[in-house]
Amino acid sequence: MAISIVKRRAWNARPPRDPDDVIQVPWSKRVEFVVHYTEGPTTQTPREIQDFHMDERGWNDIGYNFLVRDDGTVYEGRGWEVQGAHATNHNVSGIGCAYIGLNHASDEAKLKIRALYDEACAKAGRTLAKRAHTQVGNTDCPGTRLLAWVEAGMPVPAATGADLPSDDDRLA
Protein backbone atom coordinates (compact mmCIF):
# COMPACT_ATOMS: atom_id res chain seq x y z
CA MET A 1 0.00 0.00 0.00
CA ALA A 2 1.50 3.31 -1.07
CA ILE A 3 1.11 6.02 1.53
CA SER A 4 0.25 9.53 0.44
CA ILE A 5 1.81 11.95 2.92
CA VAL A 6 0.89 15.63 3.12
CA LYS A 7 4.24 17.40 3.22
CA ARG A 8 5.06 20.14 5.72
CA ARG A 9 4.82 22.97 3.20
CA ALA A 10 1.32 21.82 2.19
CA TRP A 11 0.02 22.21 5.76
CA ASN A 12 1.90 25.50 6.20
CA ALA A 13 4.40 24.23 8.77
CA ARG A 14 6.66 26.71 10.44
CA PRO A 15 10.37 26.05 10.09
CA PRO A 16 12.09 24.63 13.17
CA ARG A 17 12.96 27.31 15.71
CA ASP A 18 16.67 26.42 15.52
CA PRO A 19 17.68 24.60 12.31
CA ASP A 20 21.00 23.66 13.94
CA ASP A 21 19.02 21.65 16.52
CA VAL A 22 17.44 19.38 13.87
CA ILE A 23 19.07 16.01 14.47
CA GLN A 24 19.15 13.36 11.75
CA VAL A 25 18.73 9.78 12.99
CA PRO A 26 20.11 6.83 11.00
CA TRP A 27 17.79 3.86 10.49
CA SER A 28 20.26 1.69 12.41
CA LYS A 29 19.12 3.48 15.59
CA ARG A 30 15.38 3.10 14.97
CA VAL A 31 14.04 0.08 16.84
CA GLU A 32 10.42 0.99 17.62
CA PHE A 33 7.31 2.75 16.39
CA VAL A 34 5.44 4.70 19.09
CA VAL A 35 1.70 5.41 18.77
CA HIS A 36 0.29 8.57 20.38
CA TYR A 37 -2.86 10.64 20.35
CA THR A 38 -2.97 14.43 20.34
CA GLU A 39 -5.56 14.46 23.16
CA GLY A 40 -7.60 17.11 21.43
CA PRO A 41 -10.47 17.40 18.99
CA THR A 42 -10.29 15.60 15.65
CA THR A 43 -10.61 19.03 14.04
CA GLN A 44 -7.13 20.09 15.19
CA THR A 45 -4.81 20.98 12.35
CA PRO A 46 -1.15 19.98 12.25
CA ARG A 47 -0.31 23.69 12.36
CA GLU A 48 -2.33 24.17 15.57
CA ILE A 49 -0.50 21.20 17.10
CA GLN A 50 2.85 22.56 15.93
CA ASP A 51 2.03 26.01 17.36
CA PHE A 52 1.17 24.41 20.72
CA HIS A 53 4.39 22.37 20.76
CA MET A 54 6.57 25.33 19.80
CA ASP A 55 4.84 28.20 21.60
CA GLU A 56 3.49 26.51 24.73
CA ARG A 57 6.02 23.72 25.27
CA GLY A 58 9.01 25.56 23.84
CA TRP A 59 10.01 22.72 21.52
CA ASN A 60 12.04 23.25 18.37
CA ASP A 61 9.23 21.96 16.14
CA ILE A 62 6.16 19.72 16.18
CA GLY A 63 7.01 16.71 18.33
CA TYR A 64 5.73 13.85 16.16
CA ASN A 65 7.28 12.34 13.08
CA PHE A 66 3.80 11.81 11.55
CA LEU A 67 0.16 12.58 12.32
CA VAL A 68 -2.97 10.77 11.09
CA ARG A 69 -6.52 12.10 10.84
CA ASP A 70 -9.73 10.01 11.07
CA ASP A 71 -10.27 10.26 7.30
CA GLY A 72 -6.87 8.62 6.77
CA THR A 73 -4.97 11.76 5.83
CA VAL A 74 -1.31 11.39 6.85
CA TYR A 75 0.75 14.48 7.64
CA GLU A 76 4.51 14.77 7.77
CA GLY A 77 5.64 16.09 11.13
CA ARG A 78 9.39 15.85 11.55
CA GLY A 79 9.53 13.08 8.95
CA TRP A 80 11.29 9.72 8.80
CA GLU A 81 14.86 10.61 9.63
CA VAL A 82 14.59 13.48 12.14
CA GLN A 83 14.68 12.97 15.89
CA GLY A 84 11.27 13.58 17.39
CA ALA A 85 10.15 15.12 20.68
CA HIS A 86 7.32 12.70 21.44
CA ALA A 87 8.54 10.27 24.13
CA THR A 88 11.36 10.97 26.56
CA ASN A 89 14.27 8.56 26.02
CA HIS A 90 12.57 7.18 22.88
CA ASN A 91 12.93 10.06 20.43
CA VAL A 92 15.96 8.57 18.70
CA SER A 93 14.91 4.92 18.90
CA GLY A 94 11.29 5.51 17.95
CA ILE A 95 9.26 6.94 15.11
CA GLY A 96 6.43 8.89 16.78
CA CYS A 97 3.03 8.71 15.09
CA ALA A 98 0.06 10.61 16.54
CA TYR A 99 -3.61 10.04 15.93
CA ILE A 100 -5.26 13.47 15.74
CA GLY A 101 -7.94 13.00 18.36
CA LEU A 102 -8.58 11.37 21.70
CA ASN A 103 -8.61 7.55 21.65
CA HIS A 104 -11.42 6.72 19.20
CA ALA A 105 -9.39 6.28 16.03
CA SER A 106 -11.39 5.28 12.96
CA ASP A 107 -10.56 2.12 11.02
CA GLU A 108 -9.14 4.34 8.27
CA ALA A 109 -6.83 6.08 10.76
CA LYS A 110 -5.67 2.72 12.13
CA LEU A 111 -5.07 1.46 8.60
CA LYS A 112 -2.81 4.43 7.85
CA ILE A 113 -0.96 4.20 11.17
CA ARG A 114 -0.32 0.54 10.40
CA ALA A 115 0.80 1.43 6.86
CA LEU A 116 3.28 3.95 8.32
CA TYR A 117 4.54 1.25 10.67
CA ASP A 118 4.99 -1.15 7.76
CA GLU A 119 6.82 1.51 5.76
CA ALA A 120 9.10 2.24 8.74
CA CYS A 121 9.94 -1.46 9.00
CA ALA A 122 10.70 -1.59 5.27
CA LYS A 123 12.95 1.47 5.52
CA ALA A 124 14.73 0.01 8.56
CA GLY A 125 15.07 -3.40 6.88
CA ARG A 126 13.71 -5.17 9.95
CA THR A 127 10.65 -5.42 12.16
CA LEU A 128 10.34 -2.57 14.63
CA ALA A 129 8.68 -2.98 18.01
CA LYS A 130 5.09 -1.75 18.20
CA ARG A 131 4.67 0.52 21.19
CA ALA A 132 2.04 2.78 22.69
CA HIS A 133 3.31 5.93 24.38
CA THR A 134 2.18 4.64 27.78
CA GLN A 135 4.44 1.59 27.30
CA VAL A 136 7.53 3.80 27.12
CA GLY A 137 6.56 6.67 29.40
CA ASN A 138 4.48 7.68 32.40
CA THR A 139 1.34 8.80 30.54
CA ASP A 140 -2.20 7.75 29.65
CA CYS A 141 -1.47 8.41 25.97
CA PRO A 142 -2.75 7.02 23.60
CA GLY A 143 -5.78 6.05 25.68
CA THR A 144 -7.25 2.64 26.43
CA ARG A 145 -8.63 1.82 22.97
CA LEU A 146 -5.48 2.66 21.02
CA LEU A 147 -3.37 0.95 23.68
CA ALA A 148 -5.44 -2.23 23.27
CA TRP A 149 -5.04 -2.00 19.48
CA VAL A 150 -1.25 -1.66 19.77
CA GLU A 151 -1.08 -4.49 22.33
CA ALA A 152 -3.08 -6.68 19.90
CA GLY A 153 -0.35 -6.13 17.30
CA MET A 154 -1.93 -3.19 15.44
CA PRO A 155 -4.19 -5.45 13.36
CA VAL A 156 -5.44 -4.07 10.08
CA PRO A 157 -9.20 -3.54 10.09
CA ALA A 158 -10.53 -6.42 7.96
CA ALA A 159 -12.76 -4.47 5.58
CA THR A 160 -10.23 -1.76 4.75
CA GLY A 161 -6.87 -3.46 4.79
CA ALA A 162 -7.23 -6.93 3.40
CA ASP A 163 -4.60 -6.17 0.76
CA LEU A 164 -1.82 -5.26 3.21
CA PRO A 165 1.00 -7.78 3.62
CA SER A 166 1.46 -9.65 6.88
CA ASP A 167 4.50 -8.95 9.06
CA ASP A 168 6.13 -12.13 7.73
CA ASP A 169 5.46 -11.31 4.07
CA ARG A 170 6.55 -7.67 4.25
CA LEU A 171 10.21 -8.32 5.01
CA ALA A 172 10.59 -11.52 2.94
Phi and psi (nearest 5°) for 99?
A: -80, 130
Please report the domains of the chain, with CATH numbers, ordered by start residue. 23-161 (3.40.80.10)
pLDDT digits (tens, 9 = 90+) for 7-43: 999 999 999 999 999 999 999 999 999 999 999 999 9
DSSP string of 142-170? Answer: THHHHHHHHHTT-PPPHHHHTTSPPHHHH
Element (H, E) at 40: none
Phi and psi (nearest 5°) for 73?
A: -65, 130
How far apart (Å, rounded) are the C-alpha atoms in residues 64 and 24? 14
The pLDDT score that the predictor gives to residue 163 is 44
The pLDDT score that the predictor gives to residue 159 is 52
DSSP annotation of 82: B
Name every residue whose Cβ is closer than 8 Å to that of residue 74 and which is 6 or more positions away in sequence. 3, 4, 5, 6, 66, 67, 68, 112, 116
The pLDDT score that the predictor gives to residue 169 is 39
Beta bridge partners of 98: 36, 67
Alpha helices in 11-130, H assignment, sequence order: 46-51, 107-124
The pLDDT score that the predictor gives to residue 130 is 98
Q: Which parts of the chain register pLDDT below 50?
A: 160-172
Q: Which amino acid is at 33?
A: F
The pLDDT score that the predictor gives to residue 1 is 58
